[in-house]
Structure 1
């Protein structure tokens, strides 16, 4: 893979998809439908997916593509693939809460090596650069010109009082029970893959997920966190979370900054 080209393509596609999404987000009204698994989908999911998919297939025709909105791609079996969630956090989008993202990642040998997470309503853009290090691009975001990029890095956690981030839409008692195993200084709630990015920037130390996710929900954020020095492991045995699993469903997991003594369930 040409990582310079990959970084350029996925950055630009995420920004273009963000514009498509925001046009619908800022409209007076938009339709919400239910998919076969009862999860919501909007015109923004579908339009962003069509744009990203076309762009990736044109740029990387020989790389398998998995995307949430194309059910036929969910049977792909490949060692190397691109994986997309065109609008992660649809519930946040529907309720106009702003915590939704565009996620694009590149996976090889079960590891998300590169990724981009763009939160268009918040104007925050995180991605891995060509060398695999993670940055946040700040200032005015131009689709055709890379602006100022700031290296990001996980925190050095204070074990006497961690900063914890948890889901805004999927917080439950099991999550709270696990968080209560730690000394916590402060709690944040965030939607979508932004939670990975908050750990990657040092704005949080720990993100436990005790609930259903799919690989397209997590791969891009996982890549950004890894490029910032963080880790993502399975909840049950603390082995690395891997990708390319049958059906692309994830087990429960923990994303964290090194230095935390992880607790078992």
Structure 2
């Protein structure tokens, strides 16, 4: 089955925006916080967004299976074409709880282990990042007095020798291995950012590199990786291999680096 990724991107963007609305409805009031088995927080907003996304994706005619962080047990594997949806209904729950705005909705389409479509919506910041293979990568600023139109984005390219690298890192997950990696990189400025927004900043050329030397799951990265790759960047393991989603039964990613250039 051949997919029209351009058409699908528009439909998935709509679903992600609806999930963002559900999140903001909770964000506007007091909400309860639970603790999952892995000690990570879970809020009403996570589940509200999950329900919206599941309903939206399951209503699409393609019938592609869905792997969501909030319902891993229902996922039975990729379809016969090697496709599945990869969803984080609310990435950056800690940032949501802190109310700093740096949280996102992530929806990716995986095909043969690669993210070929990605939508990242930051509802509090009123910004979206979209990408699909052979369609391009885009940023949409839909806040007040903004056009709401898709603006093409591209990575910045490799910094010239002797210049300072613009590095983004995790706001809520510091890593002891990071200091050593940064020392090898050379002169740099480090900016902490929450959720998948780190990858999106690379994609739009606002940062040069994002080293993640700590644990992440597939759903944390899939959608934003699609955006980075279609914007001309790359997401690689420390061994230089492209970060893969071919084995969804293994939920954890290896350590990786997001580069704002192609070589």
Does the alignment reach a TM-score above 0.5? yes
Separation in structure 2 between the aligned mates of residue 75 and residue 139 of structure 1, nearest angstrom: 36
The aligned runs of 1:1-265 (5 Å cut-off) are 1-27=3-29, 29-78=30-79, 79-129=82-132, 131-140=134-143, 147-158=148-159, 159-160=161-162, 161-235=164-238, 237-245=239-247, 246-258=249-261
| 1:74–1:247 Cα contact (<8 Å) kept | no
Give distance in 2, aligned partners of 1:135 and 1:47.
26
TM-score, length basis structure 2 = 0.91
Q: Is the 8 A contact 2:132 2:227 kept in 1?
A: no
Once superposed, what is the RMSD of the aligned Cα atoms? 1.8
Indicate the SS of the match to 2:89: strand
Per the TM alignment, residue 47 of structure 1 is displaced from its structure 2 partner at its CA by 0.6
Cα deviation, 1:187-230, whole Å, max 9, x if unaligned, reads 11101000000000111110010111111110001000001000
Q: Report deviation, 1:77.
A: 4.3
Which blocks of at least 5 consecutive residues in structure 2 are unaligned?
none
CA shift for structure 1 position 123: 1.2
Query: 1:77, 1:118 → 2: CA distance?
Result: 24
Give the length in aligned residue pairs: 254
What TM-score, normalized to structure 1? 0.91
* Ranges of 4+ aligned residues in structure 1 off by more than 2 Å: 73-78, 129-132, 138-141
Does the Cα contact within 8 Å between 1:163 and 1:184 map onto a contact in 2?
no
Deviates most, 88-97 or 123-132: 123-132
The alpha-carbon deviation at position 139 of structure 1 amounts to 3.8
Q: CA deviation at 1:155?
A: 0.5
SS in 2 for 1:186: strand
Provide the C-alpha distance between the structure 1 equivalents of 2:132 and 2:241, rounded to a whole number of angstroms.
26
Q: Runs of 5+ in structure 1 lacking a partner?
A: 261-265
CA 1:173–1:55: 2 relative to 1, 3 Å: same
